Chains A and B, each alone.
Chain A
């Protein structure tokens, strides 16, 4: 339920692959847990940024460590992307962000590289689900097209599910999501949610 149980010593954690890895949920990069707000610079991308661009298979298939995955975030666009971004930066993309593979390592790599949210005109289905699952805010905003330039400061509010262009105070409303997805996101993702409530967010809440 709390931090003691994070890296519970299950049989597999004694295997070489998981020895010494930080637990996904005990990360310092936990975002927006308290306020639901974050602010960062925009990295602007076009349409159809697929999961092979976000993290190539040959890197993600060799590790179970999110910080290792983060080194390859957006590798297909620029192998040094992870070094160039600052903590809380935001990706603003066109249509069909995250198309292709089901790899959850794609949103994980972005989140652990420091990306605090992804805004896109639309998302590919599996990436969208995975982003909420691992606690990376994914805001679908078709109206964002052409409105954000590289480096613009963007404020994200995951309670009201909005993005604000700080300079112009323009507010964009993201496509609404079911309440259970919103609650999962506010808790920091599915694992965090489960640890707190001992049940999955889509099942009937017994504690309310």
Chain B
């Protein structure tokens, strides 16, 4: 009797669970779906057509569908969080849907550069303490998410354009604005349009002194600043040798920098490198389901692109627009006032490794300042452990705390009138690092380090 009644009462949910598992299996095995279509189809969604919306359920979603989707992690940082908090207050929303999925990061101007910033930081701390949600100070949000929170198959939204970085571990990760992230905090969901996908086939191996940053700058130079606007980028390796040369740090660089051609997401398939990375970096939210998503072999792409890694040269982008891309020779001899190694695009341990290698036993040019800023506390600690910090200091560079720092021009390396900076950071837009008349060139950390030594834009290949 008892067993009968208990089985009958649990059967609807059991049945639901069975259905969910079979839905998940069929989505993951569906050869006709792109990564983006699979990543959204494995979530509970509501489809919107006109004013009608279906009940939330697990259904297959295709490019072009507009869906309301459950979000696993919703982040804002110190220059977008205060506005999100303000919006929540204005709407009179006092309760978060699930505080364990809400992350605030104080990273852009950390520690506070002045009183006004300090007050906004205080607003964030009050909010996280009141709502008991996650607060991180120091590490750049995208790097922290990669190190501690992101997993394959997660739906991650952030009030920061470079949130797309987490695509490097096969998460659906994308940037939105402050008030929309506030809406996610309040409801746990948001509407999205399932993006069309551009597939990029990678072949060949990099020559010495060529890095992921050169590859993505080269790509952006070819497709333009809006070349992937609204689109998903799916990176595909043509063989094992190609695959193995893309470490997690280099994938993070590419997924992050894909924002500069407008990509909504930029994803790498889950492979051994992903699995090893996830094992080595213990996750704070171990309850998050890791769902490995491989794009279907007959999925429909809006465009395909071939990149031969062996043909890429050192690239330098700028000034003023990321898609103005030159080979390093074309700009060689432009004198620089500052060299900046850091940011979420290129402030990881591999970036510090290569720059320490170049700077070891050498001196930064007398007319140039060199600022090195790690992307996270974890990267910072590792740099100390490996002796890189000593190398930087001996070379005459400045090693700062982990922050976005000079990339956003508020502290730790702002530019004055007419100054020129070569930087491994994300953007070279007019006035981004300071004076409107200053100029920023973007390049790989290796090119930046070589330029720091020579006092002008320089080819790093002679240093390997």
Q: Which residues of chain A are within 8 angstroms of B90 by Cβ–Cβ distance?
A: 6-8, 23-25, 191, 195
Contact of A195 among B53, B92, B225, B408 (CB under 8 A): B92
How far apart are A167's CB and chain B's nearest CB, in angstroms? 30
B429 at the interface (CB under 8 A from A): yes
When the two chains form their complex, are residues A15 and B116 in contact, meaning their CB atoms are under 8 A apart? Answer: no
Q: Which residue of B lies closest to A21 (CB)?
A: B86
A11 at the interface (CB under 8 A from B): yes
B409 at the interface (CB under 8 A from A): yes
Contact of A125 among B91, B180, B262, B409 (CB under 8 A): B262
When the two chains form their complex, are residues B161 and A52 in contact, meaning their CB atoms are under 8 A apart? Answer: no
When the two chains form their complex, are residues A61 and B109 in contact, meaning their CB atoms are under 8 A apart? Answer: yes
Q: In the complex, what distance in Å separates the CA atom of A133 from the CA atom of B50?
A: 18
Q: Which residues of chain B are within 8 angstroms of A6 by Cβ–Cβ distance?
A: 90
A86 at the interface (CB under 8 A from B): no
Q: In the complex, what distance in Å separates the CA atom of A124 from the CA atom of B119?
A: 31
Contact with B along A173-208 (1 / 0, CB 8 A): 000001110000000011100110000101111001
Q: In the complex, what distance in Å separates the CA atom of A53 from the CA atom of B429?
A: 8
B301 at the interface (CB under 8 A from A): no
How far apart are A203's CB and chain B's nearest CB, in angstroms? 7
When the two chains form their complex, are residues B176 and A58 in contact, meaning their CB atoms are under 8 A apart? Answer: no
Task: Pick from B13-21, B75-83, B333-341, B374-382 the stretch touching chain A.
Answer: B75-83
Contact with B along A66-110 (1 / 0, CB 8 A): 000000000110010000000000000001100111111100100
Q: Which residues of chain A are within 8 angstroms of B299 by Cβ–Cβ distance?
A: none
When the two chains form their complex, are residues A180 and B92 in contact, meaning their CB atoms are under 8 A apart? Answer: no
B7 at the interface (CB under 8 A from A): no
Q: In the complex, what distance in Å separates the CA atom of A191 from the CA atom of B83?
A: 12
Q: In the complex, what distance in Å separates the CA atom of A10 from the CA atom of B260?
A: 38
A64 at the interface (CB under 8 A from B): yes
How far apart are B66's CB and chain A's nearest CB, in angstroms? 6
Among A25, A102, A179, A180, find the residue whose CB has the most chain B CB atoms closer than 10 A: A102
Contact with A along B168-206 (1 / 0, CB 8 A): 000000011111100100010011000000000000000
B87 at the interface (CB under 8 A from A): yes
Q: Which residues of chain B are within 8 angstroms of A96 by Cβ–Cβ distance?
A: 225-226, 229, 262
When the two chains form their complex, are residues B180 and A190 in contact, meaning their CB atoms are under 8 A apart? Answer: yes
Q: Which residues of chain A are within 8 angstroms of B66 by Cβ–Cβ distance?
A: 178
When the two chains form their complex, are residues B429 and A103 in contact, meaning their CB atoms are under 8 A apart? Answer: no
Q: Knowing A17-B123, A205-B51 are in contact, say whether A56-B178 is a contact too (CB < 8 A).
A: no
Interface residues of A in 1-43 (CB under 8 A from B): 5-8, 10-13, 15-18, 23-25
Q: Knowing A23-B90, A125-B262 are in contact, say whether A103-B80 is a contact too (CB < 8 A).
A: yes
When the two chains form their complex, are residues A202 and B126 in contact, meaning their CB atoms are under 8 A apart? Answer: no
Q: In the complex, what distance in Å separates the CA atom of A195 from the CA atom of B430?
A: 38
When the two chains form their complex, are residues A12 and B126 in contact, meaning their CB atoms are under 8 A apart? Answer: yes
B450 at the interface (CB under 8 A from A): no
B436 at the interface (CB under 8 A from A): yes
Q: Which residues of chain A are within 8 angstroms of B8 by Cβ–Cβ distance?
A: none
Q: In the complex, what distance in Å separates the CA atom of A208 from the CA atom of B117?
A: 44
Q: Which residues of chain B are within 8 angstroms of A190 by Cβ–Cβ distance?
A: 87, 179-180, 183
B230 at the interface (CB under 8 A from A): yes
Contact of B89 among A10, A57, A129, A202 (CB under 8 A): A10
When the two chains form their complex, are residues B48 and A17 in contact, meaning their CB atoms are under 8 A apart? Answer: no
When the two chains form their complex, are residues B119 and A16 in contact, meaning their CB atoms are under 8 A apart? Answer: yes
Q: In the complex, what distance in Å separates the CA atom of A24 from the CA atom of B88?
A: 11
When the two chains form their complex, are residues B127 and A102 in contact, meaning their CB atoms are under 8 A apart? Answer: no
When the two chains form their complex, are residues B91 and A191 in contact, meaning their CB atoms are under 8 A apart? Answer: yes
How far apart are A81's CB and chain B's nearest CB, in angstroms? 12
A62 at the interface (CB under 8 A from B): yes
Interface residue ranges, B against A (CB under 8 Å): 46, 48, 50-51, 53, 66, 68, 78-80, 82-83, 85-87, 89-94, 108-109, 114, 116-117, 119-120, 122-123, 126-127, 130, 158-161, 163, 175-180, 183, 187, 190-191, 225-226, 229-230, 259-260, 262, 264, 321, 323, 408-410, 414, 427, 429-432, 434, 436
Cross-chain pairs A/B with CB under 8 angstroms, 10 sampled: A17-B82, A17-B116, A17-B119, A61-B108, A76-B436, A96-B226, A102-B159, A126-B175, A130-B177, A194-B91
Interface residue ranges, A against B (CB under 8 Å): 5-8, 10-13, 15-18, 23-25, 48, 50-53, 56-58, 60-64, 75-76, 79, 95-96, 99-105, 108, 122, 124-126, 129-130, 133-134, 178-180, 189-191, 194-195, 200, 202-205, 208
- With contacts A62-B114, A124-B262 known, what are 5 further pairs, Cβ within 8 A? A6-B90, A12-B123, A53-B431, A102-B159, A126-B176
Q: Which 3 A-B pairs have the closest CB atoms?
A: A52-B429, A104-B177, A96-B226
